[in-house]
A and B are shown apart, each in its own frame.
Chain A
Amino acid sequence: MNPVNISLLVFMIGLYGVMSKNNLIKKIMGLTIMNGSIVLFFISIGYRKGGLAPILEKGTTGGIPTTIFVDPLPQALMLTAIVIGISVTALALAMIVKIYSKYKTLDIQQLSKER
């Protein structure tokens, strides 16, 4: 089983969590798991077995073939994606605090009954 398949599996687990759980916190946990699986997916795209860090020194660029380097772009992308994921989670948790103080429940079934 390669890392791409594992990350897709984890993605599905996260999706299941978001869709089927009634508790708002658990929904957010599902969202975070989805985000994590995407990070795993991107990193495994850029992975090369035994690859080096992609740092080129001046003057020595000629001889080294680029195939032995790990692809740096997905890693840079994922740093951004992690930051975005954290800000979404923070906003969602702040909203959950507000919702709890208004309704005294976090169950989505009970929340949808309230008007």
Chain B
Amino acid sequence: MSIHIPILIIISPLLAAFLVLLTRKYKIVLATGSIIISIVFTLTLSSRVLSSDKITYHLGGWRGPLGISLVIDGLSFFFSLIALGLGLLVIIYSIPEKRYGRTYYFLLLVSLSSMIGVIYTADIFNMYVFYELLSLTMYLLIAYPKTGVTLRASFNYLIMGGVGLSFFLLGVGFLYAMTGTLDIFHIAEKLPAVFNSSTRMVLMSFVLIATGMGIKIAVFPLHGWLPDAHSMAPSPVSALLSGVTVKIGIYCLIRVVYTVFSAEMFFLINSHNILMVLGVVSLLFGASMALAQKDLKRLLAYSTINQLGIVLIGLGIGTELGLTGALFHILNHAIMKSTLFFCAGIMIAETGTREVQGLNGFGRQQPVITFAFIIASLGMIGIPPINGFTSKWLICLAAVEAGYVVLVAIILMASAIAAAYYFRVIQVLLSVPLKQDPMSGHEGEQMIHRGNLFRSWPIYILAAGCLLLGLLPTLGISLVKPAVSFLLSHAAP
């Protein structure tokens, strides 16, 4: 039983997804139950993973380069915890909404299960298959309200995502042509041998895979789909997209850059410079575009591009400090951004408008939600007692250590711009309502009083998480540590 835990983590949500389609009554119980089971299974592995052990599970007992194996190491454990934890909160948050039927939970569960699949699998083609499954469910979830705008946003994402995954698959084809295996760790062993004879093919496959994942992560020139998709989707789905799905792309990029193309190649093909430049460009672009937005969720979507830029810079620096900062920032961003999208969902439902200006006086109606929003947005800017500060600080330190002082200036400048756009929202939230209309305000309050519990608890939990990780950063860093040590041990054999 205990040997089969890795596959059970993937199967439990997948099985529940198909059971959800059969029942009308128990859909929520099934959905939350299966995710909780997966989380428990994952936590039972924690002691082995955190002592930097690697758990390998061979599917069907086929070993080695022939079979597909699931590998849980520090890195995949870290990412799977983020995905499952946020997935659970997203399901809880969507309970009060009566519009979401069985298919919604079905898609949500399939997407979560395929995320875990992408994270755990050690077979690079299997990674592609799970990623395509994840993307398909995400297109459907974005288009779930079936309005014209969501359909258009989803279609845009489908075109871009389809092209991105085609690039990825072509890159995988090049890797297979060179090494004759699809297992990530076997490719990593065989690549250095073929590097000298076919440098161009190695470069080609790196560029193809990085471009494909770049589309999924929405780095600056390839970001076209993100603002529409993230802002038009239903709020829980936006939180899932921005908090987790984008991180899966980053996970694939890290796997490919640090595990498949190991140390010498990392510097031979200058991939660290590429990552850093992309990071800087999307950091500045995201920040300045967010400043110009009037729509609240669109502002948050551009802010995602901004924060991912910081993560890419940390990955590009590539030292131990830089990697710790980048991975910690991934965790922080997942928590903060889903808090913000959850809050934005309540704000939009209550005020009935997506404009920032329409939020006048919301702070008086719902002080606690506003407080959570303020905490998360301060974290996004990087104000000390909150979690975003620590990870930005680590990345800045790493940049100074590695001799890129310019990067620090750029990150600080982007943080100042972030302060400008978040303070604008906070100011509107706290201001006195323009028109006093007691009747409509009263109605609105009663309307969402039902099920308010399910909507607000995920927000409280996440906001508490922001404060906790801000006050005790060692907690998060100890979670990140095994992942970093694993990456570095592979990067410098």
What residues of chain A have their CB less than 8 Å away from a CB belonging to chain B? 4, 11, 14-15, 18, 24, 27, 31, 34-35, 38, 41-42, 45, 73-74, 77, 80-81, 84, 87-88, 91-92, 95-96, 98-99, 102-103, 111, 114-115
Contact = CB atoms under 8 A, between A and B. Distances in A.
A62 B177 CA distance: 26
Contact of B129 (A27, A80, A111): A80
Given A35-B166, A42-B173, A88 B159 contact: no
A41 B136 contact: no
Contacts, number: 71
24 contacts: A11-B166, A11-B170, A14-B166, A18-B163, A24-B155, A31-B163, A38-B166, A38-B169, A38-B170, A74-B176, A80-B125, A80-B129, A84-B129, A88-B162, A91-B139, A92-B155, A92-B158, A92-B159, A95-B155, A95-B158, A99-B152, A99-B155, A102-B151, A111-B152
Nearest to A33: B166
Interface in B113-144: 125, 129, 132, 136, 139-140, 143
B159 A27 contact: yes
A27 B129 CA distance: 22
Contacts of A27: 159
Nearest to B140: A91
Contacts of B129: 80, 84
A100 to B, nearest CB: 10
Contacts of A41: 170, 173
Contact of A102 (B125, B148, B176): B148
Contacts of A31: 159, 162-163, 166
B63 interface: no
Contacts of A115: 149
- Which of B162, B163, B177 counts the most chain A CB atoms within 10 A? B162
Nearest to A87: B136
B154 interface: yes
Contacts of B136: 87-88, 91
A77 B180 CA distance: 13
B146 interface: yes
A25 B163 CA distance: 15
Contacts of A74: 176
B194 to A, nearest CB: 14
B140 A99 contact: no
A96 B158 contact: no
A98 B139 CA distance: 14
A96 B169 CA distance: 25
A18 B159 contact: yes
Contacts of B177: 4, 45
A95 B151 contact: yes
A29 to B, nearest CB: 12
Interface in B168-203: 169-170, 173, 176-177, 182
Nearest to B129: A80
A4 B198 CA distance: 15
Contacts of B151: 95, 98-99, 102
A63 B1 CA distance: 42
A34 B166 contact: yes
Given A27-B159, A103-B148, 20 more contacts: A4-B177, A15-B163, A18-B162, A31-B162, A31-B163, A34-B163, A38-B170, A45-B176, A45-B177, A73-B182, A74-B176, A84-B129, A87-B136, A88-B132, A88-B158, A92-B159, A95-B139, A98-B146, A98-B151, A115-B149
Contacts of A98: 143, 146, 151
